[in-house]
Amino acid sequence: MTFTVNAAQLHQLETKLRWLNHRGLPFAEIEAVNRAAFGAQKDARQELGGRMVLRNAWTERSILVRKASLQTMEAATGSTQAYMETQELGGREDAKGKHGVAIPTSVASGEGRGAKPRQKLVRRPNKMSNITLAPNARTSSRKQRNTIAVREAIRTGRRYIFLDLQRRKGLFRVYGGKRKPRIEMIHDLSSKSVTIPRNPWLMPAAKKQAAAMPRYYVAALERQIARLR
């Protein structure tokens, strides 16, 4: 990243402002820094739409600015949500229990099987925190456990069950009656860990605003000088 600064112009403006009012200089610096911070906020929010599937406005609203002041002389732009740091830098999510990482399916959001990427939020009844499972049958056969789980879900009306289908395992919802039961995966628990690739949303905005900082600073100096004339 490169940008051009007219150092002589900056020095001239700073000297003039110091002569008129030495307190005006830090105000000009604060104005320039805050302008860049809010510019980064705007650019980052715009960046999200092209990089992520936004299922609500919460992620966008989480990008906030901490303004500079005479005490700190430093501004910051970032998200209040921890998962946004993972998006920016990449990372890995590991399972917290004996099963894998819970990945909601498009069925959980009401979009039907196979919708990729999922565009909507998980429906409230299908959220992990709202699902209560009946105890699995204690049998030696995986196939028997699955069969009993489906049958008991229909009998008791507790439609959410855990199934181990050998290659895939997860939380399923049982539909229909005992004659023609149908199952749909709600949360995939097949993987013990999930790699999250880097998806920079803040750095492009920060680079753009860093390049504009000299222009912001010159404008702020000129504004302070104009106020004192």
The pLDDT assigned to 1 comes to 37
Are 187 and 201 contained in the same domain? no
For residue 76, give both structure tokens: 């910051």
The pLDDT assigned to 5 comes to 45
Q: Examine residue 1 and state whether it is found in any structural domain, yes or no.
A: no
pTM of the model: 0.73
Q: How many domains does the chain have?
A: 2
Quick one: residue 195, left, alpha or beta (phi over 0 = left, psi -120 to 50 = alpha)? beta
Phi then psi for residue 103, to 5 deg, are -115, 110
Closest CA to 60 of 207, 210, 197, 205: 205
DSSP per-residue letters across 147-168: HHHHHHHHHHS--EEEEE-SS-
The pLDDT assigned to 67 comes to 95
Q: Report the distance separating Cα 227 and Cα 18, nearest Å.
A: 13
Are 21 and 61 contained in the same domain? yes
Taking only the tens of pLDDT, the chain with its 229 residues reads 334 445 556 566 666 656 556 667 788 889 999 999 999 999 999 988 777 877 778 899 999 999 999 888 899 999 999 989 999 999 999 998 888 999 999 999 999 887 888 888 899 999 999 998 877 777 778 888 998 999 999 998 889 999 999 889 999 999 998 889 999 999 999 999 999 999 999 999 999 999 999 899 889 988 887 876 6
Are 191 and 147 contained in the same domain? yes
Are 45 and 109 contained in the same domain? no
- Angle, CA 39 vertex, CA 64 and CA 13 arms, to 5°: 125
Are 121 and 72 contained in the same domain? no
| 160-164 and 103-104 beta bridge pairing | unpaired
For residue 207, give both structure tokens: 């680079």
The pLDDT assigned to 4 comes to 43
Tally of CB atoms within 10 A around 113: 9
Are 207 and 123 contained in the same domain? no
The pLDDT assigned to 137 comes to 73
Owning domain of residue 107: 94-195
Q: Examine residue 31 and state whether it is found in any structural domain, yes or no.
A: yes
Are 79 and 142 contained in the same domain? no
Are 114 and 78 contained in the same domain? no
Closest CA to 36 of 8, 9, 6, 68: 68
The pLDDT assigned to 132 comes to 84
